[in-house]
């Protein structure tokens, strides 16, 4: 079973490769672009523990970036990145939008660093093959870009333990292949959109005091506005009754008064 799965994976990768390479080879700059991607990543990030010390640019042999720490390529002799895993490397600084130059990347894992700033809203729609994105346990802030929903192969999106604010983009909820999703421990607020994949559970949203709606508690502000609407309906419905009652009561009193004299 495992072997079959492995053979399948290799087969699919090879097919993808065969399909992709002809579209790539005419444009050498697409390979340059992966080098620029990594070069930008290195220059943007502070690396206090020198994990990126073997990221040395300027050796122009085929596939030289494939031996960089945390970098894997589609083929070891071809400068085209399939994954970057720099989890727990103590990296600091802002996320660079040049990551989009690693255009065929499948997996980007920067969990457990000290990345700060916001996520540029355009980059993720430029990474069509991304399957796994793990940016959990950093210091990222700002909004969750709605462009995540444009990544049709995105399967795992982990943004937990950051400082993201605003709402969860409703577009994300219809992301076709999203299976693993977590935004716990951020400062998100508002109604959780209805995920078409029903498997996203309570544990994906915890630690955001202002998030509400299924699978968390109902939104109190929607209850509040519903209460206001209900009160208005009641007022509208009972206003004529009140007027009539008042009028009847008055005329009743008026009729009674003479009798008492
Ligand atoms: C360039 O990188 C390749 C692959 O990592 C290595 O075998 C080669 O020695 C390097 N050449 C130079 C000049 O550093
Ligand atoms: C990201 O990398 C860390 C180790 O650095 C690993 O524990 C974690 O499972 C990875 N995330 C994903 C989604 O694979
Ligand atoms: C993370 O970076 C901020 C500055 O951006 C710094 O103040 C803080 O000490 C860093 N945290 C860790 C755990 O390195
Ligand atoms: C998704 O991509 C399309 C076409 O590239 C673009 O028009 C649209 O604005 C994108 N959606 C988001 C939410 O970024």
- The conformation of residue 261, written as its DSSP 8-state character, comes to -
Q: CATH assignment of 2-220, given 3.60.70.12, 3.40.640.10, 3.40.50.720, 3.80.10.10?
A: 3.80.10.10
The pair of structure tokens assigned to 154 is 């995105």
Q: Going by CA atoms, what residue is nearest to atom 2 of ligand 4? A: 150
Q: Give the tens place of pLDDT for each residue, 42-58.
A: 999 999 999 999 999 98
The ligand that comes nearest to the alpha carbon of residue 171 is 4
Domains of the chain, by residue range, sit at 2-220, 221-256
List strand residue ranges (DSSP E) for 107-212, in order: 107-109, 114-116, 132-134, 141-142, 156-158, 163-166, 180-182, 187-191, 210-212
The ligand that comes nearest to the alpha carbon of residue 134 is 2
Q: Going by CA atoms, what residue is nearest to atom 6 of ligand 2? A: 87
Please compute Rg for the chain using Cα positions: 29
pLDDT of residue 261: 39
pLDDT of residue 225: 55
Q: Going by CA atoms, what residue is nearest to atom 7 of ligand 2? A: 87
Instruction: Evaluate: CB of 30 within 6 angstroms of ligand 4.
Output: no
* Range of lowest pLDDT (3-12, 104-113, 178-187, 205-214): 3-12
Mean pLDDT across 7-25: 52
Banded pLDDT at 257 (limits 50, 70, 90) = very low
Please choose, from the candidates 130, 133, 96, the residue with its C-alpha nearest in 3D space to the C-alpha of residue 111.
133
Instruction: Evaluate: CB of 126 within 6 angstroms of ligand 4.
Output: no
- The conformation of residue 174, written as its DSSP 8-state character, comes to G
Mean pLDDT across 214-227: 70
Measured distance CA(96)–CA(36) in Å, rounded: 11
Instruction: Evaluate: CB of 163 within 6 angstroms of ligand 3.
Output: no
pLDDT of residue 176: 84
Instruction: Evaluate: CB of 180 within 6 angstroms of ligand 3.
Output: no
Q: Give the tens place of pLDDT for each residue, 149-164.
A: 888 899 999 999 999 9
Query: 68 alpha carbon to ligand 2 midpoint, in Å?
Result: 18
Q: Give the tens place of pLDDT for each residue, 223-252.
A: 555 545 555 555 565 555 544 444 444 555
Q: Going by CA atoms, what residue is nearest to atom 6 of ligand 3? A: 114
Query: 147 alpha carbon to ligand 4 midpoint, in Å?
Result: 6
Name the 3-class secondary structure at 222. Answer: helix
What is the dihedral angle through the alpha carbons of 51, 53, 55, 61, rounded to the nearest 10 degrees?
Answer: -140
pLDDT of residue 82: 97
Query: 153 alpha carbon to ligand 2 midpoint, in Å?
Result: 18
Instruction: Evaluate: CB of 61 within 6 angstroms of ligand 1.
Output: yes
Mean pLDDT across 74-95: 95
Instruction: Evaluate: CB of 206 within 6 angstroms of ligand 3.
Output: no
Query: 162 alpha carbon to ligand 3 midpoint, in Å?
Result: 13
pTM for this model (two decimals): 0.77
User: 8 or 188: whose pLDDT is higher?
Assistant: 188
Instruction: Evaluate: CB of 156 within 6 angstroms of ligand 4.
Output: no
The pair of structure tokens assigned to 142 is 């700002």
The pair of structure tokens assigned to 111 is 């969990």
Instruction: Evaluate: CB of 128 within 6 angstroms of ligand 4.
Output: no
Query: 65 alpha carbon to ligand 1 midpoint, in Å?
Result: 10
Q: Where are the alpha helices (DSSP H) in the chain?
A: 2-24, 29-44, 220-260
Task: Say whether pLDDT at 258 is over 50.
Answer: no
Task: Say whether pLDDT at 210 is over 60.
Answer: yes
């Amino acid at each position: 079973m495992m072997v079959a799965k492995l053979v399948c994976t290799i087969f699919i990768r090879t097919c993808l490769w065969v399909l992709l390479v002809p579209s790539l080879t005419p444009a050498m700059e697409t390979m340059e672009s992966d080098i620029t991607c990594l070069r930008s990543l290195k220059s943007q990030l502070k690396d206090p523990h020198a994990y990126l010390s073997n990221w040395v640019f300027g050796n122009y042999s085929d596939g030289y970036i494939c031996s960089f720490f945390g970098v894997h390529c589609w083929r070891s002799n071809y400068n085209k990145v399939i994954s970057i895993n720099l989890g727990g490397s103590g990296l600091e600084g802002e996320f660079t939008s040049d990551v989009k130059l690693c255009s065929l990347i499948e997996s980007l894992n920067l969990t457990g660093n000290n990345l700060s700033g916001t996520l540029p809203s355009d980059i993720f729609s430029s990474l069509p093959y991304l399957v796994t994105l793990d940016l959990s346990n950093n210091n990222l802030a700002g909004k969750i870009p709605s462009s995540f929903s444009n990544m049709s192969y995105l399967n795992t999106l982990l943004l937990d333990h950051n400082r993201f604010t605003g709402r969860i983009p409703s577009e994300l909820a219809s992301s076709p292949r999203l299976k693993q999703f977590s935004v716990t421990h951020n400062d998100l607020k508002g109604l959780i959109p209805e995920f078409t994949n029903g498997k996203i559970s309570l544990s994906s949203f915890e630690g955001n005091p202002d998030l509400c709606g299924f699978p968390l508690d109902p939104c109190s502000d929607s209850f509040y506005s519903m209460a206001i609407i209900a009160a208005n309906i009641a007022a509208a419905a009972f206003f004529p009754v009140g007027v009539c009652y008042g009028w009847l009561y008055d005329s009743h009193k008026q009729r009674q008064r003479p009798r008492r004299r």
